[in-house]
Amino acid sequence: MAIVAPSLLSADFAHLARDCRSCLDAGAEFLHFDVMDGHFVPNISFGAPVLSSIAKAVPAFYDVHLMLTDPLDYLPMFLKAGASMITFHLEANSPVEETIDAIHAGGAKAGIVLKPATPAQAAFPWLDKVEMVLVMSVEPGFGGQKFQSGALDKLAAIRQQAVKTGRSELLLEVDGGIDRNTAPLCVKAGASVLVAGSAVFGAADPAAEIAFLRGL
Ligand code: DX5
Ligand code: ZN
């Protein structure tokens, strides 16, 4: 069984709480919250006040994906807003160990994110310090992009290294272009958490998509 994390980037922002509830009712374990600063990625999404409002209205496990140049500087506001897990990019400017420690000190789970061009080996030094590794299967910034199959080898390499180093319980998340066709390949490669934005919210029956992905 995979953990499903619907990406709220593709939800109806006028009805965020409703859409969050529908995902939870359909069995989604995580809600994926994409934060973009218009600098690290060429897009702007939503920030801590929005997270705070929906986390109050809809208690859930909020998986917050920071696409920020300086994630360390912004941790306090997302921790306070109700983030359950915070992931940040290895390609960002913040010192990795300090950022992981600050997330843990704030009471959340921590994860690192790799863009498509970043090799799997970049994650290896951190596998015993984080709860999750997120492999991007598109360039971060926008929903609805095509899955890049280079993510599959990367997932397999990280899963293999995690098992080899006694970290088989590490969560391995994949994000970008995940749907009924690409998700099974990712799970086979070792992914345990599936982010899906357009595949869920663009479907005629979002609950059926979540159920399908969870069954993998
Ligand atoms: C992209 C975001 C993704 C995005 C995924 O930068 O990190 O979470 O919402 O969207 P889909 O599933 O449509 O590719
Ligand atoms: Zn994301």
Strands 109-114 and 132-136: parallel
Compute, in angstroms, the gap from residue 99 CA to the centroid of ligand 1.
23
Protein residue closest via CA to atom 6 of ligand 1: 140
Mean pLDDT of the chain: 98
Between strands 193-196 and 171-175, the pairing is: parallel
Supply 123's token pair. 């994650």
Q: Which residue has the tokens 């970008």?
A: 176
The ligand whose atoms approach the alpha carbon of 143 most closely is 1
Q: Which atom of ligand 1 is nearest to the CA of 198?
A: 13
pLDDT tens profile 108-126: 999 999 999 999 999 999 9
Which residue is catalytic, options 19, 34, 37, 179?
34
pLDDT of residue 25: 98
Q: What is the reported pLDDT for 187?
A: 98
pLDDT at 37: 97
> Which of the four pLDDT bands, split at 50, 70 and 90, describes residue 1?
very high
175 assigned to active site: yes
Q: Which atom of ligand 1 is nearest to the CA of 8?
A: 9
Q: Each residue of 48-70: pLDDT tens digit?
A: 999 999 999 999 999 999 999 99
Q: In sequence order, which residues have a C-beta less than 8 Å from that of residue 118 and are 6 or more positions away?
A: 90, 91
Interval 6-21: pLDDT, tens = 999 999 999 999 999 9
Can you tell me which atom of ligand 1 is nearest the CA of 65?
A: 7
> pLDDT digits over 152-194, tens only?
999 999 999 999 999 999 999 999 999 999 999 999 999 999 9
CA 5 to chain centre: 7
32, 63 in Cβ contact below 8 A? Answer: yes
| Ligand 1 close to Cβ of residue 6 (< 6 A) | no
pLDDT digits (tens, 9 = 90+) for 194-215: 999 999 999 999 999 999 999 9
pLDDT tens figures, 61-109: 999 999 999 999 999 999 999 999 999 999 999 999 999 999 999 999 9
- Report the 10 Å Cβ neighbour count for 20: 23
Instruction: Let me know: does 179 contact 199? Beta carbons within 8 Å.
Output: yes
